[in-house]
Amino acid sequence: MSDQSAVVKAAPKGIYVAGEWRDASGGGSFAVEDPGTGKPLCEVADGQADDARSALDAAVDAQADWAATPPRERAEILRRAWQLMTDRADDLALLMTLEMGKSRAESKSEVTYAAEFFRWFSEEAVRIEGRYAQNPAGGSRLLTMKQPVGPCLLITPWNFPLAMGTRKIGPAIAAGCTMIVKPAQLTPLSMLQLTDVLAEAGLPPGVLNVVPSSSAAKTVGPLMSDPRLRKVSFTGSTPVGKSLMEQASKNLLRVSMELGGNAPFLVFGDADIDAAVEGAVVAKMRNNGESCVAANRFHVAGEVAVEFTARLAERLGAMKVGHGAEEGTQVGPLIDADQRDKVGELVDDAVGKGARVVTGGSAVEGDGYFFTPTVLSNVPREARILTEEVFGPVAPVTAFGSEEEALALANNTEFGLVAYVFTQDLRRALRVAEGLQTGMVGLNTGLVSNAAAPFGGVKASGFGREGGTEGIEEYLSTKYVAVSLS
């Protein structure tokens, strides 16, 4: 307990502008809750539109010097921040568990994953290149250079409180952009703690400004029409993403959108079933299913559906549910009562339409927002759970006949973030990977997230890529200089 109160006490609770912590204008605050107990952890400054404007003022003031800072210096700051996060992983993980719910082991892997974006982009910062070419007609030369896009607004969700931030902050720092971060209301503490880490790593004042708030639209909305802002990068729900796109159009902002998913998990008759079950546990249960890349629906070849379902149910049914900070917990609570109730509603809808509960199926009574890991079989096509993002530990299984049918089922969604495919047939694997309307495919694996790879979607899952060599491009503009030699 003392560890727990110590990490909460140590975390900053204010608004961070121009290198200083301050109270919200008006002095208000909002409560951050532990979803494992339903009880408040602490109060955090409730940023207002005035605070967001001060944050943009600071970002604008810092932009020119930051863009002129040698790439190697920007890289070293990121590298030091990676080291500090690695050294402090236990405390960062505990803080994350307390505000978000996931088990300490899962929080620890998120800290590693989140820090990895800093290490990766420290290596990218020194590889921002242009080109010098001959005019095909001869005579003149064509010179291109990459420059930072300018001050950015970065809006992050609650499900990965650090990693969704570092995959934006890392490339922005590497590219030479300044920024305002608006962390999720439900989980601001990890981001506030990270802010201190970046300051300690040597990030100059004004480069990163952080404005927690309980009223996102009112607080950051005015920034969207301020011509000094040049980019918005958002991770969250598709409706909010669409609204931000509309606002961004008025100011013609550069936009990156990482929105909802509805990932299909395809198991073909020729799959290695051990690998498919293992992959399914990861794709479904990582982050308790509260992930845009979580497998949302399992489409399994008829000949292996019974075996796959039974083995998946055995694995999920054996997982230990509990407070994320307790030793041995594998499945923590959902983020809040609304999320727990929505998961219950989708399960009830499927069961009402004829699905069978193989394991789990209900919320856990008592404090906190727990839901038992659940496997549903014989899920009818009209069940809402097959088309809506469940964001919880529920695996609905349906059987398919042919490869064409599997692909059609997989693509039958407005979303297009990721799909998982299990098959041992190389030709089928590539055929299906090419046919899937998604930005990412997990081929015989349930985990695609990797700082070195381009993460992102198509269709209603958004556009833009985070991580990989693509990630920094989101924060760079290309300038072309026509050079006359005569």
Smallest gap from Cβ 414 to ligand ADP, in A, equals 16
Check binding of 180 to ligand ADP (CB under 6 A): no
Smallest gap from Cβ 234 to ligand ADP, in A, equals 7
Interactions with ligand ADP, residue window 189-218 (CB under 6 A): 216-217
Check binding of 187 to ligand ADP (CB under 6 A): no
Check binding of 100 to ligand ADP (CB under 6 A): no
Smallest gap from Cβ 175 to ligand ADP, in A, equals 22
Task: Please pick, among 116, 152, 177, 292, the residue that the annotation labels catalytic.
Answer: 292
Smallest gap from Cβ 271 to ligand ADP, in A, equals 32
Q: Which of 29, 37, 147, 185 binds ligand ADP (CB under 6 A)?
A: 185
Residue placing its CB nearer to ligand ADP in the complex, 157 or 171: 157
Smallest gap from Cβ 199 to ligand ADP, in A, equals 22
Task: Please pick, among 106, 116, 258, 473, the residue that the annotation labels catalytic.
Answer: 258
What is the pattern of x (binds ligand ADP, CB under 6 A) and - over residues 265-284?
Answer: --------------------
Which residue number places its CB atom closest to ligand ADP?
236
Residue placing its CB nearer to ligand ADP in the complex, 304 or 418: 418
Smallest gap from Cβ 225 to ligand ADP, in A, equals 12
Q: Encoding tokens for residue 166?
A: 């570092």
Check binding of 337 to ligand ADP (CB under 6 A): no
Residue 177 falls in the annotated catalytic set:
no
Interactions with ligand ADP, residue window 345-374 (CB under 6 A): none
Interactions with ligand ADP, residue window 123-162 (CB under 6 A): 155-158
Q: Rounded to an integer, what is the distance from CA 294 to the centroid of its chain?
A: 11
Q: Which of 13, 80, 168, 182 binds ligand ADP (CB under 6 A)?
A: 182
Residue placing its CB nearer to ligand ADP in the complex, 123 or 388: 388
Residue placing its CB nearer to ligand ADP in the complex, 158 or 370: 158
Check binding of 343 to ligand ADP (CB under 6 A): no
If phi over 0 gives left and psi between -120 and 50 gives alpha, with beta otherwise, what is residue 125? alpha
Residue 30's contacts (CB-CB under 8 Å, 6 or more residues apart) are 43, 44, 46, 185, 212, 214
Residue placing its CB nearer to ligand ADP in the complex, 236 or 332: 236
Between helix 104-125 and helix 71-87 the angle, nearest 10°, is 160
Q: Which of 164, 169, 220, 280 binds ligand ADP (CB under 6 A)?
A: 220
Smallest gap from Cβ 291 to ligand ADP, in A, equals 10
Smallest gap from Cβ 216 to ligand ADP, in A, equals 3
Residue placing its CB nearer to ligand ADP in the complex, 212 or 322: 212
**CA atoms of 411 and 93, how far apart (whole Å):** 36
Q: How many CA atoms lie within 13 A of 217 on its CB side?
A: 6
3-state SS of the chain is: CHHHHHHHHHCCCCEEECCEEECCCCCCEEEEEECCCCEEEEEEECCCHHHHHHHHHHHHHHHHHHHHCCHHHHHHHHHHHHHHHHHCHHHHHHHHHHHHCCCHHHHHHHHHHHHHHHHHHHHHHCCCCCEEEECCCCCCEEEEEEEECCCEEEECCCCCCCHHHHHHHHHHHHHCCCEEEECCCCCCHHHHHHHHHHHHCCCCCCCEEECCCCCHHHHHHHHHCCCCCCEEEEECCHHHHHHHHHHHHHHCCEEEEECCCCEEEEECCCCCHHHHHHHHHHHHHHHHHCCCCCEEEEEEEHHHHHHHHHHHHHHHHCCCECCCCCCCCCECCCCCHHHHHHHHHHHHHHHHCCCEEEECCCECCCCCCCECCEEEECCCCCCHHHCCCCCCCEEEEEEECCHHHHHHHHHCCCEECEEEEECCCHHHHHHHHHHCCCCEEEECCCCCCCCCCCECCEECCEECCECCCCHHHHHEEEEEEEECCC
Residue placing its CB nearer to ligand ADP in the complex, 344 or 361: 344
Check binding of 167 to ligand ADP (CB under 6 A): no
Interactions with ligand ADP, residue window 227-266 (CB under 6 A): 236-237, 240, 243-244
Smallest gap from Cβ 290 to ligand ADP, in A, equals 9
Q: Which of 184, 301, 347, 383 binds ligand ADP (CB under 6 A)?
A: 184
Residue 292 falls in the annotated catalytic set:
yes
Binding region for ligand ADP (CB under 6 A) out of 99-107, 182-190, 194-202, 437-445: 182-190
| Total residues binding ligand ADP (CB under 6 A) | 16
Q: Encoding tokens for residue 261?
A: 């998913």
**CA atoms of 160 and 169, how far apart (whole Å):** 14
Residue placing its CB nearer to ligand ADP in the complex, 261 or 446: 261
Residue placing its CB nearer to ligand ADP in the complex, 88 or 242: 242
Q: How far apart are the first and last CA of the chain?
A: 75
Binding site for ligand ADP (CB under 6 A): 155-158, 182, 184-185, 216-217, 220-221, 236-237, 240, 243-244
Active site residues: 258, 292
